């Protein structure tokens, strides 16, 4: 089975339904993946781009994003880089009202029992990770 690395623009067309011609082509691709004709690989960096566009350009809340993205990454024919961490980061960002990238970074650092170095104490105080500020 052929594996394709899927870009954010294909996912965004599929999730937003616009523009119509690209939406229809992305639906066709997703149907091929569902039938097992192709495997679509989703990297974490592309996931981050999708979330950023849905939040910044389309003005979706993290709850709305989670409602569409979690089923998408769990769909047949979609292979996700570290799916458990990705889903946990989406849920954590929604629950704690923090940026997705901060949630993902916190989970990755915690998985390695390491700390995050950040100037963003506000968000990281709410996340399950040790953090510190850069030295003065």
What is the predicted pLDDT for the residue at 131?
Answer: 95
Both tokens of 27, joined, read 């639906």
129 in the same domain as 65: no
Helix (H, G, I), strand (E, B) or coil at 128: coil
Mean pLDDT, the chain, rounded, equals 96
The pLDDT > 90 percentage for the chain reads 96
The pLDDT tens digits for 4-17 are 999 999 999 999 99
Task: Place 132 in a pLDDT band, splitting at 50, 70 and 90.
Answer: very high
Task: Place 1 in a pLDDT band, splitting at 50, 70 and 90.
Answer: confident
Task: Place 109 in a pLDDT band, splitting at 50, 70 and 90.
Answer: very high
The pLDDT tens digits for 94-105 are 999 999 999 999
pTM of the model: 0.91
74 in the same domain as 91: no
Decide if 98 contacts 131 (C-beta within 8 A).
no
Torsion of CA 74, 78, 80, 83, to 10 degrees: 10
Task: Place 47 in a pLDDT band, splitting at 50, 70 and 90.
Answer: very high
What is the predicted pLDDT for the residue at 16?
Answer: 96
87 in the same domain as 70: no
Residue that finishes a domain, picked among 37, 56, 81: 81
64 in the same domain as 22: yes
CA distance 126 to 124: 5
109-128 in b/e form (b: 16+ CB < 10 A) is: bbeeeeebebeeeebbeebe
DSSP state for residue 4 in the 8-state scheme:
E
76 in the same domain as 87: no
């Amino acid at each position: 089975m052929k594996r394709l690395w899927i870009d954010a623009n294909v996912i965004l067309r599929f999730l937003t339904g616009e523009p119509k011609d690209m939406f229809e082509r992305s639906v066709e691709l997703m149907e091929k993946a569902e039938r097992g004709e192709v495997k679509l690989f989703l990297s974490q960096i592309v996931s981050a781009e999708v979330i950023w566009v849905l939040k910044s350009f389309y003005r979706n809340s993290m709850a709305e994003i989670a409602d569409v993205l979690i089923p998408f990454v769990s769909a047949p024919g979609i292979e996700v880089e570290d799916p458990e961490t990705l889903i946990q980061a989406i849920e954590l960002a929604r629950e704690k009202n923090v940026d997705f990238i901060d949630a993902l970074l916190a989970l990755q650092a915690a998985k390695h029992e390491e700390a995050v170095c950040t100037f963003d104490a506000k968000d990281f105080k709410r996340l399950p990770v040790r953090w510190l500020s850069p030295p003065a």
